[in-house]
Amino acid sequence: MRREVLYTLEGIYREDFKITGFTFGQGDRAACVVGSMRGNEYQQTYICSQLIKELKKLEEHGQIANGKEILIIPCINQYATNIDKRFWPLDDSDINRKFPGFINGDTTQQIAANLMEVIKGFSYGIQLTSFYMPGNFVPHIRMMETGFQNPSLANLFGLPFVVIRKPKPMDTATLNYNWQMSGTSAFSLYTTCTDYIDDVSARQAVASILRFLTRMGIIKYNNHSGYIAEVINEDDLTSIKSEVSGLYRRVINPGDPVYRGSVIGEIIDPYEGEVINQVTSPTEGLVFFTYTGPTVMEDAVVCKVIRRLHE
């Protein structure tokens, strides 16, 4: 294993900002894993740390394939992590909306541009990322529909679902989109949670990455086969929205089955404590995403359901 500083940004009033990478093996740029890009993505950083721990053992036993190189970058935005902020602390901008970056642009554009220079050219790219709103997911792989996506490769992670998303204009500035456009087969891996550590789903994520690397001939590792993934389009998910605002109490979890009329959550009057609205499912299926914020606005998405198809 080689630990090296991949990029340094000089700090004026605090220590320098550094992006650190861990390289295993030598040769062709086979796979790159990028961890937390937002300050509250603790689960994503933790998964990378556990992946590095496993790859160190594999390298010691000669189980990295000859002529293959793996790069792991656990954290991109430690400035925000250190002060418990989600976005870049100085201007509240999202690094994952700055790609491919601009070397002479603002700070986050410079970070994105320099990171892109480091990670482009890998055959496979895996980003551990989070959703734009607080919530929990069924673990899955997500890909942008760029014309270069390959759902068959995404199946090799052995997670339950692969989600294909048609990119919107704002998505063209994400790492996943720009990685694909640069020639890398890019995957976004969503685990159950973001801002706290869930060891069960973290182990599942690590196992899925090791499974993929094994199936692509990059490492030698014995692992169970995992799931046969169901490929779904994001547009096929049913979004369930709140009808009023208030305190929010969810009553279901990702992976739970729901039926038409099943209660998804309750919205509570913040002063009087009465349930003022029950959020119910309009369809039968499997809970894919649940909102976990303590308060909810009117007409906000609180749940996404994979509809059950009947013949």
| Domain end (from 186, 208, 228) | 228
Give yes or no: residues 184 and 241 share one domain: no
What local confidence, expressed as pLDDT, does residue 309 receive? 57
- Cα 266 to Cα 279: distance, rounded to the nearest angstrom: 6
What's the pTM? 0.95
Give yes or no: residues 208 and 273 share one domain: no
Expressed as residue numbers, the domain containing 202 is 2-228
| Domain end (from 182, 201, 228) | 228
C-alpha distances out from residue 106 to 90, 93, 102, 112, Å:
11, 10, 8, 10
Low-confidence spans in the chain with pLDDT less than 50: 310-311
Give yes or no: residues 62 and 22 share one domain: yes
What local confidence, expressed as pLDDT, does residue 95 receive? 97
The total of structural domains in the chain comes to: 2
Give yes or no: residues 265 and 134 share one domain: no
User: Interhelix angle for 42-60 vs 199-215, to 10°?
Assistant: 50
| Domain end (from 212, 228, 244) | 228
Give yes or no: residues 156 and 242 share one domain: no
Query: What is the per-residue pLDDT across 119-135, written as a single tens digit (0 to 9) for each?
Result: 999 999 999 999 988 99
Give yes or no: residues 42 and 100 share one domain: yes
